[in-house]
Amino acid sequence: MKRLLSAILLTTLALACSDRQRETGRANEADRKMNAFVDSVLRQMTLKEKIGQLNLVSIGFDVTGPVVSENVEEKIKAGLVGGVFNTYTPIAVKKLQEMAVNETRLGIPLLFGFDVIHGHRTIFPQPLGLAASWDLEAIERSARIAAIEASADGLNWVFSPMVDICRDPRWGRISEGAGEDPYLGSRIAEAMVRGYQGIDLAAPNTVMACVKHFALYGAAEAGRDYNPADMGDRTMFDIYLPPYKAAIDAGAASVMTSFNEINGVPATASRWLNTELL
């Protein structure tokens, strides 16, 4: 009897391992095909078109910042736009997407992004309020609902979660984050990424998360927005950086740099921050 049970167990384990190997093989093959496709497109692109893919234009219903991009249609048709900020609804998105796919040389689709911070159509409590609940399941669910609504509205990219640790209540954006605790902030970062992206970003009801603001944006001097952050390694790595790492480890598909200087170097221009650390 023991031999029979052992044989059954070994057979079951072998079949399970075989299934996992097949799944891994299919995933690796899909990655290989995607990488080959991306490489083929890159080889066809001019330098100007590559730079254009880094261009995020702002048009639509809301404006974050003082400038609304001009001549957007002309730039899209010339292949000089990679993404659109502040445009949503299926009708508005379809018009621009068809332009990018059908009227440009390479037909590269646009990304459509929006500040979905604590809900899209359904509005949930501010992130600081959600954090105070310590209810990670509910927080993940709020992100899942936001993803379903945002994707149905033509969006595929949300500028959330904001995971900046802040210990200065004077900072004007403190309500957008999880507060002062790196452990709680890290767990919420993971939950939000899972909620937005689900288990398959190819699914029509998922959106790409964007963890922000990398890094130390909540440590601005005197709580004044965009002010520099001067910080030693111990405080940086023990307190302020863990939520960013948690979000990235959870699979966050994009990262937004912060708008301030870190120890004298602008975050957007810091090779150490964006290449070596990230």
Please say if the pLDDT value at position 264 is more than 50: yes
Question: Within a 10 A sphere around the Cβ of 27, how many other Cβ atoms?
Answer: 10
Over residues 177-230, the pLDDT tens digits come to 999 999 999 999 999 999 999 999 999 999 999 999 999 999 999 999 999 999
The ranges assigned to domains in the chain are 1-44, 115-277
pTM: 0.85
Over residues 17-38, the pLDDT tens digits come to 666 666 667 668 888 998 999 9
Class in CATH terms, 115-277: alpha beta
